[in-house]
């Protein structure tokens, strides 16, 4: 897909002033929310072209291919947007079982119990073993 075609669906999306749009990754089979990340137009275009999720890292200020270090890539099954076209929903097949860099199946592996956060997720790997660091 090129950015200059009249029917380019990227043109109708509402990227923020910083050029980013939030992207929710959801397990296509189970519906479990795996993570939230950010995309710029290049990340979305690469995602569409390759069929695997690419995001924009705000902390590292660079494009990244999900799973480039861990091997836990996200195969795109469907891309959706909301009615305002300012949020993306990526329905994915999560390869390797873990979406979170902390080793959990989902980044949403903490639950508020009374007045504290408690771990409540499925741990798939230890980050030190996968990345050599925390």
Q: What is the pTM of this model?
A: 0.88
Domain, as residue range, for 79:
19-101
Question: Given strand 33-39, what is the order of strands in its sheet?
Answer: 62-65, 54-57, 33-39, 21-27, 88-94, 74-81
State yes or no: pLDDT of 5 exceeds 80: no
Q: State both tokens at 53.
A: 């999720």
107 within domain boundaries? no
CATH number at residue 42: 3.10.20.810
Residue-wise pLDDT for 67-88, tens only, equals 998 999 999 999 999 999 999 9
For residue 71, the SS3 value is coil
45 within domain boundaries? yes
């Amino acid at each position: 897909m090129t950015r200059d075609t009249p029917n380019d669906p990227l043109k109708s999306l509402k990227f923020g002033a910083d050029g980013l749009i939030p992207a929710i990754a959801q397990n296509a089979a189970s519906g479990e929310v795996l993570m939230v990340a950010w995309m710029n137009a290049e990340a979305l275009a690469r995602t569409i072209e390759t069929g695997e999720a690419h995001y924009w890292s705000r902390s590292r200020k660079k494009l990244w291919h999900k799973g480039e270090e861990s091997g836990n890539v996200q195969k795109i099954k469907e891309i959706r947007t909301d009615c305002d076209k300012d949020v993306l929903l990526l329905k994915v097949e999560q390869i390797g079982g873990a979406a979170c860099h902390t080793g959990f199946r989902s980044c949403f592996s903490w639950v508020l119990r009374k007045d504290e956060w408690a771990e409540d997720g499925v741990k798939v790997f230890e980050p030190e073993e996968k990345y050599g660091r925390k």
